[in-house]
Amino acid sequence: MTTLIPREPYSAEELARLYPKGLKLQLVQVFLRHGERTPVSSRFQNTGLTPYWPYCGVARQMVQMAASNRDLSAWNGFQWRRKMEALGNNDESVIAVGPGGEIEAMWQVKYAYEQDVLHGELTDKGRETTYALGQRLRHLYVNQLGFLPKIKSNTEDMYLRATPIPRALESLQQAFWGMYPANARTLDFPPPVIVGRSVSEETLFPNEGNCRRFRQLARLFADRAAARWNESEQMAYLNSLWSKYMPETSPKVAVDAHPRLSGIMDTINASDAHGPATKLPAAFYDKKGRAVMDRIAVEEWFAGYAESNEYRRLGIGGLMGDVVDRMVSTAVEGGWRSETSASGSGDPEAGQAIKFALSGCHDTTLAAILSSVGSFQDGSWPPFTSSVAIELFSQTPRGDSDAGTILEEFSNPPVAAKKSGVLSWFGGGKSPSQQAPSETARSPLESFPEDTRESLRKHYVRIRYNDQPVRIPGCADRLENHLPGDDSFCTLDAFKAIVDKFTPKNWQIECTENLGEGLYGPGDRERVPVGF
């Protein structure tokens, strides 16, 4: 499947089951794959496929970043404030600060291209589908659950982040626009902060380009897939369909051909998502052929997460460590605070607890998240505009008048900083380039006192992939690790125990270790089962 066909909104009965009485929603982290785009490379021009795709009709004028309103005949400027994150001494997320203590600067990017779309660029359809995703998020978390307010005056309780790839940033903007269009923002609504990172420190996607050992592992798993599939009956079928369109220099379809099989899939999927002006010959859309191709590509790119703990650590462990840090801060420190997340205004008096995080990323991010916890169940490549929502709940105390509902006060009062150990936003003994993170950031589970562990056991994590709850084996298979009666809810204690096993202590250093060790490094001689 190329374009996601979203399911209908949850019915009242489904909502009651998915958000049960006795649990209160505390934090939501959504990771979205960008919307429909052009191929990342020009391929199959010999079939008549044009290298220039006419699907960016709104780009006929100089504009600010590509955030449109629902009327795609014109763009509105999307103003935003840019902040940067970095990796701290313990590999936790910290705010990147300039030499003079600067934490942000106004950022405006302008495009000057015309109607044709460049390689890998978001198209008009991609803007439409990511805007629609934002509308669906609004319907669930604003209209149905009341978790977020209908009208917003700022984004202090939100965390917006995107990878450095423009299509991810534009998709994030469109999704936010769908959640909070102009009529849902106050007149004095300030430009929201969008968090970014240096490419060398980016963990919001599996970073082959800046992690040498992961790049080596990815190549080894790709080579294994090539050895397994290139001479198979399945590959012979693909050759019967497409070999006549392959270039003379690489006449056979293969995992490691030129173009690679995954590159063929990229062009097929991108073309299938758009109009008749950019279609390949009918043979490329053969249903059986696409299913075979999908199976092989998924194995090539994602089998490592199921088999190798090192692959999990280097590919997605840094991001999953951040995901857990945020939930633990919410559970035991009174909130994941905007002044330690690079997402807020920087006002030390605000102390706002973040309730909703939205990150623009990629198919490889989503599949890695799900695979790393043993939840990539159907094994199909994530369609455009897919999303993973990681939700944190707390048990509602017995006798609480709010029992049976997850509605929260829209005011979201400021969270008081802990008196012991939490350092000031303005330094607190740290150098200007590194502000104080949460006290619990990257702390191993076994270091927590028992009362903290008990608090984690009273909080529950649930992952939804394209609005469907997924099963985490290490939680679902053990009664003490999930909510009684619903094994899709994992205790935060058990979830952290699973993620701790593949959270790197220092990602950048580990990226330079075990070079040349082969498919399985020293730590994987005895396999660590995924999702446990």
CB contact at 8 A, 441 and 90: yes
Residue ranges of alpha helices (H) inside 180-260 are 212-229, 233-242
Token readout for 443 is: 């702390």
Token readout for 101 is: 């203590």
CB contact at 8 A, 386 and 368: no
Calculate the CA dihedral of residues 369, 373, 374, 376 and round it to 10 degrees. Answer: -20
> Rounded to an integer, what distance in angstroms lies between the CA atom of residue 93 and that of residue 340?
9
Tokens 């994987």 belong to 524
Tokens 């909104």 belong to 9
Token readout for 167 is: 């299509």
CA 22 to chain CA centroid, Å, is 28
Nearest residue to 85 via CA among 340, 324, 334, 317 = 340
Give yes or no: 274 in active site: no
Q: What is the largest CA-CA distance in the chain?
A: 74
- Active-site entry in 34, 274, 362, 459: 34
Nearest residue to 397 via CA among 17, 23, 16 = 23
- Active-site entry in 322, 363, 493, 524: 363
> Rounded to an integer, what distance in angstroms lies between the CA atom of residue 468 and that of residue 377?
11
The beta-strand segments (E) located in 88-165 are 93-95, 105-106, 158-162
Angle among Cα 149, 155, 156 to the nearest 5 degrees reads 105
* Residues across the chain: 532
Give yes or no: 139 in active site: no
Q: How far lies 386's CA from each of 39, 131, 364, 366, in Å?
A: 18, 12, 11, 8
Report the catalytic residues.
Answer: 34, 363
